[in-house]
Amino acid sequence: MKRKLFEHHLFLQPRKGARQSRTQTRTHEAHRPLDMTAPTKRDGEQVQRNRFTRRTLLLGASGMGLFGLLASKLYNLQNIEGRKYKSLAEDNRITTRFLPPVRGKIYDRNHMLIATNAQNLRVLIIPERAKNVARSLSLLGQVIKISDRQKRRVLKTARRQNPQFPILVADNILWGQFARINVLGERIPGIIGDISWKRRYELGEEFAHILGHLGQPSSFQLTSQPALHLPGALVGVAGVEQGFESALHGMPGRRELEVNARGQSQRVISETPAQSGKDIILTIDHVLQQRILKRLSPYRRAAVVAIEVNSGDIVAMCSTPSFDPNILTPPIDKNEWKNLLKTRDQPLEDKATRGQYPPGSTFKMVTALAGLEAGIITARTRFKCPGYMQWHKQRYNCWKHSGHGSVQLHKALKQSCDVFFYETARKIGIHRLAAMARKLGLGEVYDCGLPGQKPGIVPDPDWKQLEKRRIWFRGETVLAAIGQGYVLATPLQLAVMTARLATGRKILPRIAYEKGKELRTVAPLLGLSKKSLKLIHKGMSGVINEQDGTATGAALGWPGLQMAGKTGTSQVRGNRWKNRHGKQLDWQYRDHALFVAFAPVKNPRYAVSVIVEHGKSGGKVAGPVARDIMKMLLIRDPAHQVSSINSDHSSSIGSALETGTKNQKEL
Amino acid sequence: MRPRTTTSFTHRARSNKAQSTEPAPLSILRKLYRIPWLFLFILSIIAALGIATLHSISGARGAYLADQQLIRYLIAFILLLTCAMVPAKLWMQLSYPLFALSILLVMLVPIIGVMPPGAGAKRWLMIGKVSVQPSEFLKIALVLGLARYFHSVPARKISNPLYLVVPLMMLLLPLIPIFMQPDLGTALLVAMIGAGIVFLAGVNSFYFISAGLVALGALPVLWANLLPYQRERIFTFLNPERDPLGAGYHLMQSKIAICSADLWGKGADNATQSQLNFLPEKHTDFIFAMFTEQHGFIGAMGLMTLYIICFALLSLMAIRTKNLYGRLVISGMALTLFLYVFINMGMVMGLLPVVGVPLPLMSYGGTSILSIMFGLGIAISAFVHRK
């Protein structure tokens, strides 16, 4: 067959044959045009057919070759050119929108809602989609009112930031307007209506300093967390809101959107919903907080910290004057903000954690304990107090110019004899004194979710060299012994110190915890001898409960339930300024009144520190405040420790509670 | 019709086989049996893939397009079967009239044609409420007409230049209105289909080689005479990034779509690029980009393989067909299909300039699918009635 085919190729048909075949074809064509089985000439037909087959195969092969080209191009596109186009694809066509998480709520220890989120209807503009922001704004202006200032602000922001992040145009708009924007917004490029949440504080005044408030994220936060570029994205900037920011904030969700050439979203590709922030539970009792604030109302500037001595939970922490943190939640009303700044006594300042005061005589426990632990003094050690101590030609006065006579530790604490502690400190030296102060929690910032705490000062030669570039003078040790000189402490630190003194354990304060993480381990012992602690407790109890104590007015007055405490009157100005003209000093030069206390003496439950700025006398002013607060605390003690403490005095507890209630009513 | 006379003949008499099959027309069952069902099955798979891809377009639009396409494919499938049952003789009879009609329609386009919004050129004719694209029919009709012509040309005269005048005219006649439309893609496609059929018909290779050389020489001249938009297309083809929002836009977008897929693709739900309305033609000419994004390299290769099987089956069918008309129709359809697929894929991948060529059976569009299935129906008819 093949040979035959070959022959036909080589040997052309004679001319005649060709002619014949043509006529044949013609006839065939003319008469039998549809008879396809009729060949022109069988051999010619066969040649043609074979040639057809060859050419078909040839075309088929070249077709395959072309498909191979396509396949290689496809491979090339996806694997070599692919990288470039892939990034183009992700960049241009998909916009990621962050979904703001709902901030966690904050409850107090009774699970009363303190900080919550209120709905806020907003209008946003995305410059990338709007193309012409000014035009979009003017169009929007036909729907809702936009002031020129708002417009300018939006335009300014639009020039600055990444155009794909929305800018807040207006917020707190009404439902009707919001609905209109949602209907018409489609026609105004770049405009979107949005529901956000605004932080609301239910008991603003009471919790202002504890909770802090929300504010614009810092530039550092912005670079590390792109989701914070969301308009109105806020972070806690003070207090628990800041301290527990990571838990409260939650995880922003992501919505990947397809956008068309105009930047209008076409479809949601994927959506990872935002995870709401975790709820935070404060250790604060809002009832106590309210009552304490009320109790502090007669004083211009005061602060109170109450701690549960065993757990370190801060049950109450007040700083007066206070303010309404709702004012500080953006958008801030400028007038309200100005008023707040103008308010007397700086309500914004949290005196409980940021106010640093010379602890005065409340520091004397530290000196005493340091002496006891160092073995330099014992319960029987006696010093003579002639009203001053003479040391190296320098005279150090006792507060009581007539002197306390022969003084032992108990009396020294009870009557707050300065000379006793001067003498003690002189012997133990500043290093051991400072070490004891630090052991008791002074000079330290506690990691408890309360940012902005001031560390106070526990001075020693190293500190002085570092800070003041001066050498340490002996006299400064003596001054430090009575909590004057360089020593500074915050009310929170004083409360912690008192709690540590009360328990002998390394109590750390706690202000809040994430829901479900409330358990704590028992604080480790500080390694103080029980004997020394007992002596201190006895002395502190004497301050209140003994006739010649410095704060007899602070006695609880409940049979069988006693409070131990220590007064502190820290000088704002040196003695030589006092009573110079025989008249009362200006308010700001008066001494601070301090008081630290814990109760009950036998099995302590709460520690309290009180400072009334320029309150003149720790015993007369701060003491009674501490007493009242301690009563409130003991009455509201959830563990009802009151009854278990003095089970043999159950009848008296009843009356104690009654008195307490009565007292509270009086408050 | 004249009865068979003795004049026809000596070779007839020699051919016992031909004589034996001649008298009885094929029964319907026999015809059905002869229909290449495997081929139809593969066609249907391709069409189903196309419909699925259309369906993946987001929202109600995707479902609507898919439904429309399904209906059209079913109609086209019935049309194909009907055409396949019609005796090939009849098709041969109808070849010239159909060719004439299609040329008439193509010529009408510049006069009463419409340009739908979004389309770049006047390519549609409104018949009632249906818009049709005559140039799509023309490609089929051209195959029929040329096959019909070469069938009547004696085997040994096929390379005679005189006999080539007619097919050349048949080619040039429709090219004029197509150039006027203007539609460079279709013009090239028509020219290539015509040349292919002439080649398959057995015309001496010399013509093709010389024609190729002439074309090469004519390129500069052609370039000088190209319309600006045509030059623009070539420029952007050479460097799509030159104008990413204008001329190169489609290509860029389709490349992005293809490249953003990996080996297995992103799946219908995650194929983000093609779902974007960045690609206005994504459901028609650029459906391959969408398909590749969804099904990746593997999917694209699978689709290509399906098409290759189609061409292979058609080629086998053509080789097995005894008469020239049938052979040329079948192979012409195979060639048309191949050129469509190759040009479309090449254009989507940036291998070829962007010309409006749909992907057969995949692209959304009634005219395209109907004309292809119609042509394939005639091809199958030729195969069914191959003796």
Nearest to A35 by CA among B203, B154, B29, B2: B2
**Residue B370 falls inside a structural domain:** yes
CB contacts of B88 in chain A (<8 Å) are 36
Q: Does A172 touch chain B (CB under 8 A)?
A: no
pLDDT in tens, A593-602: 999 999 888 8
Domain membership of residue B140 as a residue range = 47-384
B209 burial level (CB within 10 Å; 0-12, 13-18, 19+):
exposed
Q: Indicate if the pLDDT at residue B116 is higher than 70.
A: no
Q: Answer yes or no: do A55 and B200 touch at CB < 8 A.
A: yes
pLDDT in tens, B13-27: 444 444 444 546 778
**Residue B37 falls inside a structural domain:** no
Q: Indicate if the pLDDT at residue B268 is higher than 70.
A: no
Q: Indicate if the pLDDT at residue A326 is higher than 70.
A: yes
Confidence of residue A161 (pLDDT cuts 50, 70, 90): low
The DSSP line for A563-605 is -EEEEEEE-SS-GGGTTTTSSPPPGGGSPEEEEEEEE-SSS--
pLDDT in tens, A107-139: 998 888 988 888 888 888 887 777 778 888 888
Q: Average per-residue pLDDT in chain B?
A: 79
- Tokens read off for A332: 């801030």
Q: Indicate if the pLDDT at residue A83 is higher than 90.
A: no
**pLDDT, greater one: A115 or A519:** A115
ipTM of the complex: 0.84
Mean pLDDT value of segment A605-624: 88
Length of chain A: 667
Return the residue of A nearest to B14 by Cα.
A42
Comparing CB atoms, the residue among A13, A78, A92 nearest residue B156 is A13
Domain locations in chain A?
1-30+39-50, 95-282, 286-325+355-513+523-666
**Residue B11 falls inside a structural domain:** no
CB contacts of B346 in chain A (<8 Å) are 70, 73
**Residue B293 falls inside a structural domain:** yes
Rounded to the nearest 10°, the torsion over CA B28, B29, B33, B37 is 70
Distance CA B287, CA A409 (A): 95
**Cis ω for the linkage preceding A638 (within 30 of 0):** no
Asked if residues B288 and B350 have their Cβ atoms less than 8 Å apart, the reply is no
**Residue B269 falls inside a structural domain:** yes
Cα B273 to Cα A254, B53, B69: the distances in Å are 18, 13, 22
Q: What is the 3-state secondary structure (H, E, C) of B223-277?
A: HHHCCHHHHHHHHHHHCHHHCCCCCCHHHHHHHHHHHCCCCCCCHHHHCHHHHCC
Mutation choice for A interface testing from B205, B245, B273, B290 by most A CBs within 10 A: B273
Cα A474 to Cα A384, A485, B64: the distances in Å are 20, 12, 94
Q: Answer yes or no: do A24 and B9 touch at CB < 8 A.
A: yes
Can you give the pLDDT at residue A341?
A: 83
* DSSP run (H or E) holding A608: strand A606-612
CB contacts of B18 in chain A (<8 Å) are 37-39
**Residue B337 falls inside a structural domain:** yes
Place of tokens 């028609």: B284
**pLDDT, greater one: A584 or B308:** B308
Mean pLDDT value of segment A539-566: 88
Can you give the pLDDT at residue A175?
A: 82
**pLDDT, greater one: B359 or A92:** B359
The C-alpha of B282 sits at a distance from chain A's nearest C-alpha, in angstroms, of 13
**Residue B206 falls inside a structural domain:** yes
Confidence of residue A1 (pLDDT cuts 50, 70, 90): very low
Q: Indicate if the pLDDT at residue A663 is higher than 50.
A: no
**Cis ω for the linkage preceding A331 (within 30 of 0):** yes
Q: Indicate if the pLDDT at residue A609 is higher than 90.
A: yes
* Number of neighbours of residue A462 by Cβ within 10 angstroms: 12
Return the residue of B nearest to A22 by Cα.
B154
* CATH architecture designation of domain A286-325+355-513+523-666: 3-Layer(aba) Sandwich (3.40)
Confidence of residue A31 (pLDDT cuts 50, 70, 90): very low
pLDDT in tens, A206-228: 888 888 888 877 766 666 665 66
Can you give the pLDDT at residue A666?
A: 37
Angle, CA of A573, A578 and A579, to the nearest 5°: 155
**pLDDT, greater one: A150 or A330:** A150
Mean pLDDT value of segment A380-398: 88
User: At B56, is the secondary structure helix, strand, or coil?
Assistant: coil
Q: Indicate if the pLDDT at residue B329 is higher than 60.
A: yes
Can you give the pLDDT at residue B259?
A: 75
The C-alpha of A250 sits at a distance from chain B's nearest C-alpha, in angstroms, of 27
Q: Indicate if the pLDDT at residue A372 is higher than 80.
A: yes
Beta-sheet pairing, A280-282 with A106-107:
parallel
Lowest mean pLDDT among A11-25, A330-344, A375-389: A11-25
Of the candidate CATH numbers 3.40.50.1980, 3.30.300.30, 3.90.1310.10, 3.20.20.70, the domain formed by A95-282 belongs to 3.90.1310.10
Can you give the pLDDT at residue A336?
A: 83
**pLDDT, greater one: A196 or A72:** A72
**Residue B16 falls inside a structural domain:** no
CB contacts of B322 in chain A (<8 Å) are 36-37, 49
Task: Please give the tally of structural domains in chain B.
Answer: 1
Q: Does A89 touch chain B (CB under 8 A)?
A: yes
Distance CA B171, CA B207 (A): 15
pLDDT in tens, A639-654: 655 544 444 444 444 4
Q: Average per-residue pLDDT in chain A?
A: 80
Asked if residues B98 and B377 have their Cβ atoms less than 8 Å apart, the reply is no
Mean pLDDT value of segment B176-197: 79
